[in-house]
Amino acid sequence: MRRVAYQHYIPPVNFGYVENDLYRCGQPNELNFPFMEKLGLRCIVWLAPEEPNQNVMDFVDDQDIQLHHLGVQEGGNASDPITEDMILEAFDLILDTRNHPMAIMCNIGRHRTGTMVGCLRKLQRWNLASIFEEYRRFAGPKVRILNEQFIELFDTDLVRVPVSPPPWL
């Protein structure tokens, strides 16, 4: 009897569909690369303060994906909260459809990614209860009240919406 080799498609930790051609997740590993390849990503918005690991950097190079590392702060560390400037810089990339398909990532895809997606939901005029429910679903037992406060107080009027925004905005 002949065995058939099956390709397994395993999404990264905290993977989620945000909108058409927009995804969220934690840092993928080698097991996730076949899945990630199927997404046909053009761009990754990386929100963690440290660089992605070398395997991710090699994958990005092999797939010709643009990586935008926005998580770096002068003298900052991994526990520093996300900043308004980071969010606004990420929006410039996320709302430009030339960058799609795109993934928003941080190490685990929980706090920084969740805050970014929460601010996007606010820009989409979701109600706060729904925004926080989505944030908490990905954060699990490690919800950070400061991130929820950041989302609640985020001023969407600061976001530069392009002339031709994505259809989901």
Q: Which of 69, 56, 50, 54 is nearest to 28 (CA)?
A: 56
Number of neighbouring beta carbons within 10 Å of residue 42? 17
Q: Quick check: is 106 catalytic?
A: yes
> Per the residue annotation, which of 25, 43, 106, 119 is the catalytic one?
106
Is residue 125 within 8 Å of residue 66, measured between CB atoms?
no
Is residue 134 within 8 Å of residue 117, measured between CB atoms?
yes
CA gyration radius, the chain: 16
How far does the chain reach from its first CA to its final CA, in angstroms? 53
Number of neighbouring beta carbons within 10 Å of residue 120? 27
| Residues with active-site annotation | 106
